Structure 1
Amino acid sequence: MPSATHPEPPKEVWTSEEGSMARETAITRWPTIVQNMADDVEETFGQSDIPEKIEEGRRIQAALRIIKNEIMQDKPLHPLSSDGRPDIDSYNAKLESFGHITWHNCPWLFAECYLYRCVQTFFSRSTFWRNYDIFARQKLSAFVASHAAVEELCERYVSLADAGAFTKTDEEAQRLIFHEMTEIALWGNATDLSLLSSLSLDQIHSLQGKKAIQEGQARIVSNDMPAAWDYLRSRRGQRVDIVLDNAGFELFTDLVYALYLLDSGLASAIKLHVKSIPWFVSDVMPHDMDILLSALIDTSVFPGAKSQSVRALTERLSEGYKNGLLSIAENPFWTTGLDFQEMPVVAPELHENLRGSALVIFKGDLNYRKLVRDANWPHTTSFKEAIGPLGGSNDKEGIKILALRTNKADVCVGLDRQTLERVEMEAPKKAWVRNGKYAVVSFSDGL
C-alpha cells in the first residue's frame, strides 16, 4: 500500500503507448528475438544424430514460431503451462490481475519477462533439451569477438595491481581509480576510459586524465559516484554483492571490477548473482562463468589466451573462486515477472540477505527498470523515491544500492532540471534514454 513515505508511483510503461520504446520492442524486436531462437534450435538439432532429440527440437521450434506469430498478430497472453518450477503460479496470478491483455497492449516489463519464461517451459518440459541454453552461441561469440579489448584491459589492470596502485597511492588517487573502475563496469567498454590508458602512476593526477573523466562523466546524466565512494570507503572490508546483467565482455568487466574491489580492500568478498534460466538473450547464468574462464585459457577459442597479462588475470579470478572470495548465487526471484520492490514480501530471505551486504551493485538496464518498477516517473524524481521500500523507511533500513545502467529504455530518474534540459537538446526525441550513449550511476544508502 502507498504511504506518506512511499506514495503511489505512476503507472508502469505499456506496449500500447504510441512512440514509446515499449511499443517498438513489441512490434519489431520481440518477433526478431523469437525467430533467432527458432533458428538456433534448428542449427542444433541439425547437428544431432539422435532421432528423439531431433523430433523434440522440431516441436520446440514449432512452438517458438507460434509465439512469434501470436506477438505479430497481437494475440492475448495466455496462462503458462507448468514445468515443475514454483514461479509459474506467480506468473499466472500476475497475468490474471491485468485482465485481458495482448502483446501490443500490456505492461512492457511483465510481458518481456513472461516471454522468456514461456520459452523456457518448452525446454523444461522436454527430455533432451532440458538444460539447453538457447543463447549460448551468441554469448560466446560476442565475447570472443571482443578479444582485443579483453587483452587491453588485462594488461592495464595487472600492471596497476602489480604496481600497488589500488592500495599504495594517496586517497585522491584511489578515489580517481575507483571512479575509473566503476566507469569500466558501467559502460562495459574499457576503450572509452582514460586513467588506465597510461600505466604510469605519475600520470593519475594529470590534467589530461581529469579532463577525460569530465568528458566521460558528462554522459552520466545522474552521477552519484562521489557519494558511493565516500560510503564504500567508510564500510571497506565487508561483503559486496553484484546482481549481474550480460554475459560476454560485460561479464568480464564485472569480474575485473569485482577483483578490483577485493584488491583495493573495499570489499572482503564478492557474491555474484546470476539467472537460473536463459534470460533476456545475454544474461549471465552459472555456466557462463566457467565458459568465460575456460575461453580465456584456450587459444583455439580465444586468440589472446597466450598473453601473459590475460593468463595472470585469469589465474587471479580462478584463485578467487577457489578460496571463496568470489562466489556465485542463484535465486528464482531474479527471473520472475515481478519488480524488485515486491522482494520484501515475495522473497523475504533474499531481501534480508541483501540488507546484510555492505553494498549491492545492480548492473544494467533491466535491473534498473525493475528497481524503479518501470514506471513513468518524471525524470527529475529522486532515485530514492523511485525505488520505494528498497530505499528504507522510518522503521526499517533498506538495501544499500548502487545501480550502474546505460540508458536503453524510457524510464530514467535522478536528473536535475539543468541536466535534463541539456540532454534533451543534445539527444532529442528520447534518444538520450534509448541509444545507450548516456548512463546513470544511482546510489541509495538504505536509510
Structure 2
Amino acid sequence: MAAMETEHDKTPQSLSAKFEGSFAYLTIRDRLPTILTKAVDAIHRNKNNFFEQHGEEGVNAEKRAISFLSKLRNELQTDKPVLPLTDEAEDTAAWNDYMQRQQDLMEDKQPVSWFKSPWLYVECYMYRRIQEALLLNPPISDFDVFKEAKTQSFFESQQAVISLCTYLRELLTSMDNIAENQLYDKFLEFLQVSLWGNKCDLSISAGQDNSQKTSPIDSLADLRRFMLVDDSDKVWSALMALQGSGGTEKRGARVDIILDNSGFELLTDLVLADFLISVGLAKEVRFHGKCFPWFVSDVTKEDFNWTIKQTMAFNHRQISACAVQWKRFLKEGVWSYQDHLFWTLPHEFCDMQADAADLYSTLQASDLILFKGDLNYRKLTGDRDWEHTVPFGRALRGFHPAPLCSLRTLKANVQVGLQPGQGEKLTSQELDWMTSGKYAVVQFFCPP
C-alpha cells in the first residue's frame, strides 16, 4: 500500500509495497519482536529498583507494563490490526489521526495491520506503543527501557572517545594562523568522523553491542572508498559563504544538527560542533533530539545531559577539557538542545510545514541543517521505492526549510542521488549494500 501523497507530482510507492512478504515482513517478524523482548527484560531486571523507589505500586506497574508489551508482541507477530493509542500524552491525537489517514488509504477497507501497512509507519508505531506501556503504568512512566544498552555502548567505546577528544584538543591548541586549505582538510575529517559514527546504531543490531573500538581518525582513509556520494565540498562552501570577505563583516553560521544515536555517535556530533564553533565556521549550534526513548539508541534530553556529565567525570585531561568547553557553550547559549514531538511522529518530513509549522519555521532560520542517520534519511525521502538516480532534492518532495545535508551510513532499502549504473553495479557485487552499514553518503541540497 502506498503511503500518503503530499506533493502534486507522482512519487513511488512506500518500500513496504515493494518488500511485502519479504523484507518488511521478515523485519517485523524478526527484529521488532527481539527489541520488544529486550524491553520486557529491561523492565523485569529493574523490578527490585521499582520496589525500592515505589514499593508494591512499582512492582504492580512493572507487571502491568510487561503484560502490555507481551500482548503487543503477539499483535505484531500475528498481523493483528493496529490499535489507537489510549494514553493521554500530547501527541496521542496526532498518532490516532495518522492511523485513521492510513485506514482511509486502504483500498479494500480492511483494518490497518502490522504486515499490511507502510514499514516506516509500523516501525515508528511500535516504539510509540512501548512508550504507551509506560505512560499507562505510573509510577514507572519515565523509565527508559533502552538506557542500559545505550550506557553500555558508550562505555565500550571509551578508547575511541579518548582518541577523538585528544585529537580535537591538541588540534585546537595548534591552529593559530592555519591556512584555509588546512582548515578545509580538518573540517572534512570531523564531518566524516560524525558520518561514520552513525554505524553505531542499536536499533539495527536489535540492541546488541555495536560500539566503536578503534580510533575513528585512523580509519577515515580506508573508509573513503565506501562513500557513494560525497557532497562535503558543498557543505564547506555553504559555511564559507557566511564568513565574509574583502572587508565584509563576518556573520558566521547557525548550524542545526538533527541527532540520531546516543553513545559514541553523539560524541562524534559534539566533537564536530566543538570544532565548528572553535574555528569560527559556526557561531551557534542547535541540537535536536527525541522527546522519549526511540529506536533503541536515539538521543533524548536525558541522554544528551548524561553524556556531557560522563565526559566531565572521565579521569582524562583532554576529555575533561572537552567537557568544560561543552558546558561553557551550553551555559552561554552557543550550544542548545531542543526536542519536538514531530521527531517522534511517523510523518515524512515533507509533512512538517503543514503538521509542525513551528518546527519548520525554526529550521528556516538555520544556515545549515545536518540530518544524522538512517531514520532521518528515510523520512527525508519518504521511505519510498525511488530509482537510485533520482536527485536527492526531488526525493525531498518540497521539504526545503534551509540548506541541508544528510550524513548517513546505509542500513535501509532506500538510496537516491547515485550515478547511472552505480546502484546496479553495487547490487551485482553485494546484495545487501543498502542495509549492511558498510556504505555511506554525504548528500547536500540547497533550496532555490
Normalised-by-shorter TM-score class: 0.7 to 0.9
Q: Deviations over 1:415-444 (max 9, x none)?
A: 0024324422432x2x11100010111101
Q: Partners of 1:174 and 1:102 in 2: how far apart? A: 52
Deviation at 1:135, TM superposition (A): 1.1
Residue of structure 1 aligned with 2:265, choices 225, 250, 265: 250
The residue correspondences of 1:366-405 to structure 2 (distance < 5 A) are 366-391=375-400, 398-405=401-408
Deviation at 1:232, TM superposition (A): 1.6
Deviation at 1:24, TM superposition (A): 2.6
Q: SS at the partner of 2:35?
A: helix
Report how many residues are paired. 413
Letter in 2 for 1:23: Y
Deviation at 1:401, TM superposition (A): 0.7
Deviation at 1:23, TM superposition (A): 2.6
In the other structure, the counterpart of 1:216 is: 223
In the other structure, the counterpart of 1:235 is: 242
Change (3 A) 1:175 1:133: same
Q: Deviations over 1:378-421 (max 9, x none)?
A: 11111000001113xxxxxx321111010000011110024324
Deviation at 1:179, TM superposition (A): 1.3
Letter in 2 for 1:342: D
Q: SS at the partner of 1:235?
A: coil
Residue of structure 2 aligned with 1:268, choices 283, 292, 308: 283
TM-score (norm: length of structure 1): 0.88
Letter in 1 for 2:237: D
Q: SS at the partner of 1:42?
A: helix
Q: Partners of 2:18 and 2:192 in 1: how far apart? A: 35
Q: SS at the partner of 2:16?
A: coil
Q: Partners of 1:312 and 1:179 in 2: how far apart? A: 23
1:139 equivalenced with 2:140 (yes/no) = no
> Could you list the runs of 4 or more consecutive aligned residues of structure 1 that deviate by over 4 angstroms after TM superposition?
189-194
8 Å CA contact retained: 1:16, 1:106: no
Q: Partners of 2:19 and 2:116 in 1: how far apart? A: 8
Change (3 A) 1:192 1:386: farther
Deviation at 1:19, TM superposition (A): 6.9
Q: Partners of 1:154 and 1:51 in 2: how far apart? A: 45
In the other structure, the counterpart of 1:407 is: 410
After TM superposition, the structure 1 stretch with the greater mean CA deviation from structure 2, 381-390 or 216-225, is 216-225
Question: Alpha carbon RMSD of aligned pairs, Å?
Answer: 2.0
Change (3 A) 1:424 1:193: farther
In the other structure, the counterpart of 2:445 is: 444
The residue correspondences of 1:49-198 to structure 2 (distance < 5 A) are 49=52, 50-85=55-90, 87-99=91-103, 100-164=111-175, 168-188=177-197, 196-197=217-218
The residue correspondences of 1:196-345 to structure 2 (distance < 5 A) are 196-197=217-218, 213=221, 215-236=222-243, 237-298=252-313, 305-345=314-354
Could you tell me which runs of 5 or more consecutive residues in structure 1 were left unpaired when the two chains were aligned: 198-208, 299-304, 392-397
Change (3 A) 1:228 1:177: same
Q: SS at the partner of 1:328?
A: strand
8 Å CA contact retained: 1:244, 1:274: yes
Could you tell me which runs of 5 or more consecutive residues in structure 2 were left unpaired when the two chains were aligned: 104-110, 200-211, 244-251
In the other structure, the counterpart of 2:39 is: 37
The residue correspondences of 1:13-28 to structure 2 (distance < 5 A) are 13-14=15-16, 17-18=19-20, 20-28=22-30
Deviation at 1:18, TM superposition (A): 4.6
8 Å CA contact retained: 2:44, 2:62: yes
In the other structure, the counterpart of 1:302 is: none
Change (3 A) 1:19 1:433: farther
Q: Partners of 1:130 and 1:15 in 2: how far apart? A: 36
Q: SS at the partner of 2:441?
A: strand
Change (3 A) 1:16 1:415: closer
Q: SS at the partner of 2:115?
A: coil
Letter in 2 for 1:45: K
Deviation at 1:268, TM superposition (A): 0.2
In the other structure, the counterpart of 1:205 is: none
Q: Partners of 2:300 and 2:315 in 1: how far apart? A: 26
Q: Partners of 1:154 and 1:327 in 2: how far apart? A: 20
Change (3 A) 1:110 1:418: same
8 Å CA contact retained: 2:81, 2:113: yes
Letter in 1 for 2:227: I
1:353 equivalenced with 2:362 (yes/no) = yes
Q: Partners of 1:177 and 1:19 in 2: how far apart? A: 46
Q: Partners of 1:290 and 1:14 in 2: how far apart? A: 36
Deviation at 1:235, TM superposition (A): 2.3
8 Å CA contact retained: 1:399, 1:446: yes
Q: Deviations over 1:155-192 (max 9, x none)?
A: 1111111111xx63222222211111110000117877
Change (3 A) 1:19 1:102: closer
Q: SS at the partner of 1:98?
A: helix
Q: Partners of 1:409 and 1:372 in 2: how far apart? A: 12
Change (3 A) 1:175 1:419: farther
Q: Deviations over 1:55-85 (max 9, x none)?
A: 0111000100001111111211111113231
TM-score (norm: length of structure 2): 0.88
8 Å CA contact retained: 1:223, 1:442: yes
Deviation at 1:238, TM superposition (A): 2.0
Letter in 2 for 1:263: S
Deviation at 1:119, TM superposition (A): 1.5
Q: SS at the partner of 1:222?
A: strand
In the other structure, the counterpart of 1:11 is: 13
Q: Partners of 2:174 and 2:16 in 1: how far apart? A: 51
Deviation at 1:222, TM superposition (A): 1.6
